[in-house]
Amino acid sequence: MIDRVGPDHAAANEDLSAAERLALLQGQHRLLDQKIIDLQTRPWQNQLLVQRLKKEKLRLKEAIERLKDEIIPDLNA
Identify the residue with better confidence: 1 or 58: 58
How big is the CA angle at 49 (ends 47 and 55), to the nearest 5 degrees? 105
DSSP tag of 6? B
Q: What is the pLDDT of residues 4-47, one digit of tens each?
A: 444 445 555 578 888 899 999 999 999 999 999 999 998 787 88
Radius of gyration of the chain (CA): 16
What is the SS3 assignment for 9? strand
